[in-house]
Amino acid sequence: MIYDLECRITENRFVSGKTYILKLKAPEIAKTTKAGQFVMVKPTLEDYYDPLLRRAFAIADVEDDVITLYYDVYGKGTKFLTNRREGEYINVLGPLGNNLFPENYDNYIVVGGGIGFAGVSLFIKEIKKKGKNYTALYGARKKEDLSMIDWINQNSVNVLYYTDDGSFGKKGLITQDLEDIIEKNPDAPLIVCGPKPMMKAVSKIAIEKNRPCYLSLESRMACGIGICVGCVVKDVKNDTYIRVCYEGPVFEAKEIELS
Ligand SMILES: Cc1cc2nc3c(=O)[nH]c(=O)nc-3n(C[C@H](O)[C@H](O)[C@H](O)COP(=O)(O)OP(=O)(O)OC[C@H]3O[C@@H](n4cnc5c(N)ncnc54)[C@H](O)[C@@H]3O)c2cc1C
Ligand code: FES
């Protein structure tokens, strides 16, 4: 079920880099969310329509009746969002997304790049709760862009960190140890969310190693519910186009074309 709710903001503050954390009291969404789903949030208050469209954000965490989002500030919508204050109500549509990460493995390799870690964090929390094994990798340009470090520590998640400039964790790209990690975990699929170049690089390695690789895509979205057809991706297996918001957002890397 998809809810269209006015949700009270319980927290909205700067974290680091260009990232903010937004917590929303949304009992109906919190109760029904599955890891990998997202919400569409209207950045402005009621009766303001510029920007008109809601913006998509991964549900990064759920605690009781509160959902947590992490958002990077890019354009008009996310700039408006930074002005929203605790106690205000904003419109939220969700939980959205139908095809999610596979749950039938006992071991996973989870890769999050930049703000993309928010797309896999709830999944890590769930597999950890189920006692499954995982190797989690988190990469970004610099330390400030690893904006979920506090969440990771609070949730006792084991993570291998990578930064392009070496300001935290290992210096260099998140893909540098991936072949080794894949070989050491012969039964584990890859679970990936992040910038397109990173997802392409990870997919290439996974496909070469003949390993299942599930990508959570973050194409630009207007409606988030399958109506506008603005978010499509090429389905190479069936030679057609499919909607990321409705048939996704998770797809197996070998079945789609990341343009
Ligand atoms: C399923 C899904 C989950 C997402 N989860 C998160 C999340 O957890 N945290 C987060 O910070 N962002 C997330 N995003 C991306 C987020 O929706 C956009 O950054 C946001 O809509 C930008 O809005 P804006 O008004 O600030 O920028 P706009 O003014 O709309 O655009 C500013 C710039 O960002 C680019 N841009 C906007 N949206 C995207 C996009 N989806 N992909 C690539 N470039 C884009 C534009 O081309 C433009 O250059 C997600 C997107 C999807 C589809
Ligand atoms: S965003 Fe409208 S169909 Fe996907």
pLDDT of res. 104:
96
What amino acid occupies position 207?
A: I
Q: Starting at the edge strand that comes first in sequence, how are the strands of the sheet with 240-243 ordered? A: 240-243, 232-235, 256-257
Ligand with the closest atom to the CA of 231:
2
pLDDT of res. 49:
77
CA 32–ligand 2 middle distance (angstroms): 21
pLDDT of res. 48:
74
pLDDT of res. 44:
86
Return the best residue to mutate from 15, 74, 192, 259 for the ligand 1 pocket (most ligand atoms within 8 A of CB).
Answer: 74
pLDDT of res. 88:
95
Query: Looking at the chain, which runs of residues are DSSP E strands?
Result: 3-16, 19-25, 38-41, 55-58, 61-63, 66-72, 89-96, 107-113, 133-140, 159-163, 170-171, 190-193, 213-216, 232-235, 240-243, 250-252, 256-257
Ligand with the closest atom to the CA of 230:
2
pLDDT of res. 247:
97
Distance CA 80, CA 57 (A): 15
Domains of the chain with bracketed CATH: 3-96 (2.40.30.10), 107-216 (3.40.50.80)
**Ligand 2 close to Cβ of residue 125 (< 6 A):** no
Determine the 3-state secondary structure of 152 from DSSP: helix
pLDDT of res. 47:
74
CA 51–ligand 1 middle distance (angstroms): 13
Distance CA 124, CA 154 (A): 13
pTM of the predicted model as reported, rounded to 2 decimal places: 0.96
Mean pLDDT, consecutive 10-residue segments, the chain of 259 residues? 97 98 98 98 82 94 98 96 95 96 97 98 98 98 98 98 98 97 97 97 97 96 96 95 97 93
pLDDT of res. 123:
98
